Structure 1
Amino acid sequence: MNTNNISESNAAKEKNNNAPYYYEEPLHDLCKILDFSMDLICSCDEAGRFVWVNKASERILGYKPEELLGIKYSDFIFYEDGAAPTNENFDFKSGTHASIFEKKFIHKNTNIIYLQWSAVQDDVKNLCYCIGRDITEKKNIEKAFETERLQFFNIYSQAPSYMGILNGPNHVYELANELYLQLIDKRDIIGKAVKEVLPELETQGIFEILDNVYQTGESFCANEMPITFDRYSDGKLKDVYLNFIFQARRDVNNAIDGIFIFGNDVTEQVLSRKKIEQSEKMYKDLIHKLPVATYSCDSEGRIVLYNKAAAALWGREPELGKDLWYTSWNNNDNKKKHAAPLNLCSLAAALKGGDPILSKEIIIERPNGDKRNALPHPVPFHNADGEITGAVIVLSDITEIKLAQKELRKSEKKYRYLFDNNPMPMWIIDLASFKFLDVNKMVILQYGYSREEFLSMTALDIRPNDDKIHFIKSSDTSHINESNYNRGIWNHIKKDGTIVPVEIIAHNIVYEGTAARLILSNDISDRKKAEANLEKRNRELIKTNSELDRFVYSVSHDLRSPLTSILGLISFIETESREIDTLKHAELIRISINRLDEFIKNILSYSRNNRTGILPEQISLNEMMLDTVDSLQRMKEAKGIRFEIEIKEQKPFYTDKLRFTTIIKNLISNAIKYHKKDEADRFVKIFGYSDHENLHFSIEDNGIGIDPAYHKKIFEMFFRLSGKDGSGIGLYIVKDAVEILQGSIEVQSEKEIGTKFNITLKNLKPC
């Protein structure tokens, strides 16, 4: 530090504060030595103002020495909770060193730093010489250590396991959490040896285990170890089962100085398991003694237990823990064994869904080839979480019952199957009385009556009153065989009163010796409604489209007249006025009106395109292209654009002239409108050819181009690229007209390179 600078700075501060300063200029070499110190070295006057500061101030406090001279050091002290300072000046007796003390200071960057100070007072010069050491890092480490210590203590005291620390070879309790105290049912144990607190452990070998861990450093682990505690010190011992570990604790020199204890009381789990084991034994004994075939399996379907009745039914004894439930009934068929549909059988459904299914039968094939019918009754097991852990299955042998039922159904199997499972409602009526003799399931489902209700009714009961009266008046029993009853559409009434149209087909049959009629019925109400709704919607749609077209055409046509008048007024203003601003505003109005007029033209074109039919006529392609280009060259954007047109008319081309003009005019005007203004060689090229079937042509430019991301969107109605003028309907009209003319259009374009539209139109040459 330059002593002259110090003197000048001090002189300035003395002048400002109107207070006398008396300094003895330090030696230059001594200042340089002090400036190399890592500690803050300074001197302060009796008011606490810095007189001299070494360069360490910039590293420690962030201030250069010259920034501190003349300023009270107390201005940099950090006061806790905003407390006001009382007397922060250094105040020491002459010639004595102050005891080391600490203070918090505010760094220039607003951080809080800790400084450890030592100071001495010089009464002769009225100065205090101080040395401040930055101990911020040390303080932060101490705080971190204290935080970690508190966190460890919280974990230790709140851990869900019992924990303790024993100190020294005598195993004196140093720490014990609440769970440990609850385990031994004692409180005042800190500072006492284990032998004093729990003398009953001596006969259980615990002290020998503790000594071995302390002497060798080898940890000791135990699972479900029975320990006996005299919890009430009355000689009555209580057994507990513990999972625990004894682990040696080492000091900083890696010497063993104690033992950590960590464990859990698993008494309830052990006792519960023993009860379960007893229950399982009773359960196994019960299954073995049952007279019906019974077995159990785990959640994977592996058989874990079976009785003699089950082995007799299967004709074999399965391998426990290996054979699955389904192998018990198809043991000799390897194909079935490997392709067994586990998700279809009642056992799998019971294990998967948890609900026993008692109606699905199985066929058990014994090793000797005999087959038995059985009905399984699975009962799933659930754990505490509701998960299925297995099942008990009882097998009822229903072979004899099945054989009897088979014989009984053999004669009517074919009839019942076809009748009951037919997807169409079917019933049988007596020809003489119209009484229902039989109905299938679909009749019951469709009409809402039960089978018993149908059998107490006649065919006339499901006819509305008007139809019923008409039928009775025009028909009698003899007319039941007439063709008007064989096939036709009738109205039927359901149980809920709903009347539905049905289409019926009838055939004469003999049912249980009685002349009867088999009738098939098909509900056609949805078909009728659909036909009616479709016809109504078509009429409404035709009317709406017609009205909309007339409205659009009328409004658009009426709007153009006032626009033409406005354009005339603008022309008058432009002719009469000489004011630049007026002419500029008139030009802006003209541009907006022209844009609106163009939009109205597009709307009219769209309306005309949808309202008028196709009128094919022969078109001179090159002539039409030239006329269109000539009409569009009046656009101011067309100036400087080179047009190339070449259409090879190999065959005469026929199409709708109005729509064709709309297509090429929109595409060419867009090519002109969206051209680059500063391009050296601006062009629009129109090339193509016509043959007997189609016209193929393209319109290409080297304008601003279209991002490929928008190639499909540009043909949508009212879609406009961001920042571009236009109505957003032009290309939509083009695509609509192309499709009406049985053609197609596609775009090839890249941004800033150019755009090319490829169009194909069908040659509508008359046959």
Structure 2
Amino acid sequence: MNIHNISESKAEKEKNNKTPYYFEEPLHDLAKILDFSMDLICSCDEEGRFIWVNKASERILGYKPEELIGKKYSDFIFDEDTDIPINVNIDFRSETHLPIFEKKFIHKNTSIIYLQWSVVRDDVKKMCYCIGRDITEKKNIEKAFEIERLQFFNIYSQAPSYMVILKGPEHVYELANELYLQLIDKKDIIGKTVKEVLPELETQGIFEILDNVYKTGESFSANEMPITFDRYSYGKLKDVYLNFIFQARRDAHNNIDGIFIFGNDVTEQVLSRKKIEESEKMYKDLIHKLPVATYSCDAEGRIVLYNKAAASLWGREPELGKDLWYNSWYSNDAKKKQAAPLNLCSLGTTLKEGDPILNKEIIIKRPNGDKRNVLPHPVPFYNADGEITGAVIVLSDITEMKLAQKELRKSEKKYRYLFDNNPMPMWIIDLLSFKFLDVNKMAILQYGYSREEFLSMTALDIRPNDDKIHFIKSSDTSKIDKSNYNRGIWNHIKKDGTIVPVEIIAHNIVCEGTAARLILSNDISDRKKAETNLEKRNRELIKTNSELDRFVYSVSHDLRSPLTSILGLISFIETESKEIDTLKHAELIRISINRLDDFIKNILSYSRNNRTGLEIEQITVNEMVLDIVDSLQRMKEAKGIRYEIDIKEQKPFYTDNLRFTTILKNLISNAIKYHKKEEHDRFVKIFGYSDHENLHFSIFDNGIGIDPAYHQKIFEMFFRLSGKNGSGIGLYIVKDAIEILQGSIEVQSEKGAGTKFNITLKNLKSC
């Protein structure tokens, strides 16, 4: 065995390599293997100095191993980075096994390298073995991904459209931006299914669409689709219109794992468009329904809309969007009868400058050669920028007016002749100033003023001073009460001072563009005298009637008083006397006196009927008929007569009590008086009904009847049938009273077969 002292050699080598000798051999063998590693593999002492580094250091950090050995790893750390978890310093003395951590290093070319380290400590050798994996590309990808994620989140959260990500087949909300939350008016939806959040969508087919997109991967899009949301969660639904797309989301393995939703709420646009469409429809309907010719055109003058009246005026129907406005009329100067430049026409000026020329008359020539005088009234349309986009034109057909004006001019001469030669005084006054504008020859002749004098005066100047005061307000003598002036009958004063009453007939007219009044004056002096005489005669008649009333009352009173006394004496004779002849004579006297008394009563009734006013009151018809029948039972002819009374009072009946009583008494008493004595079943029937308008009733008996030849004569005054003892005034009074009560009466009778009177009386107070 040869023994060599290598202490000095080892010491020298250790001095040169700065590496403990006892580390050199194992590392030398291991280095050959580890140099092929893609990761940076090294060993460090307790101070953090590199002891050994594999060749990967040149590829990863840009330094050769010999450039790193002996230097601290901290010299190559990027210490300006604020990412503390990556650059925290590791104390190699404190732990036997360090966790995996990341650090940023500075490459030789000054770029930043990310290394992921794993460290194992050897307490015996007082050193650490380290492996550093280059994760720069990974970190750059992560950083790029984070940047992309932040950009996506910014777009997602600030996008002007709503965005939603649903996860899984149950469509669970994974993301939803603020616009979507505002759309559905919900919060805290993440992690919940669409069915939980929006159950109202089930009946609208949305869930079926989502399921189909998730299963097939086929996108679904919709424009202006109406969706109803229960936005307040208490059943109050609100309709919105949405543009949206449902698109399948795929994972790294291209499997569908959710749905991406992107959309816009276009409710305002849809509603605005609908309002615009409604406005356009109303506008078009208005144009079509206008009774005057109306059409519209665009800025280029192309006709886009017209109504039937316009087509009728043109005599043809233009082609929309093609025919120009000047193809639809024949633009002629109405006065010069020659073609006018189109740019000077009212519509041409309107489309060019926006300032329409009004009252510019044109002539439209129809295809059949007919020409119409027209006044166009164009109105320009402007957009938001103030640009003219078109116009609407109303065409007023003034052909007939022009013809009428022509005829009017022709008739002016006739009017002048008729005005000047009218047999009544006529003049025209200004409605504001009351000055005379024109007078005719008869006014000059009758009033005595010359034409020049009339034209220098006002209508008040021909009124007497007392009349003027009535029409001039005390507070302002310049203002005249025009509402009454020149209406009715007034006094006029002639030039010679004579005052005459005149009747004024006034008509408002337009004279040379001024509001005026045409007045005819009729002298009514003779009529006034006649009216004065008539008033005098009326007063005399009233006096005569009053005296006649007093006479009738006096006669009836003075005659009836002695008749009553005579009837008393006759009753005394009939009681005391036993002589048959005397009793017979007394009976004859009584009959004559009763007949005279009835006549006096009828005369008094007639007088009251004609001179007494109506006193309307409610009548209970059945009760009144019963009372009258009861009062007539004292008549000797009433014995043995049967009465049937049936009047259905369906509505309250109003009439004059006195006259109604007179009618009933006369007709019922006649039915009793002229009955057949030999009949066994004698009757008087009274029946009828009252309605809203009238009382209808009939009085029917089976008495002696009336020959049809006398049906009209029986209502004449003092007419009596041959052999009858009546006064001849009763039925006359009945008919007269019925006419006053606005009724009618007719008779149905045959001689020997009874009589029926049908009466209708108006209900004088409507219910």
Q: What is the TM-score of this pair, normalised by structure 2?
A: 0.45
Larger radius of gyration: 2
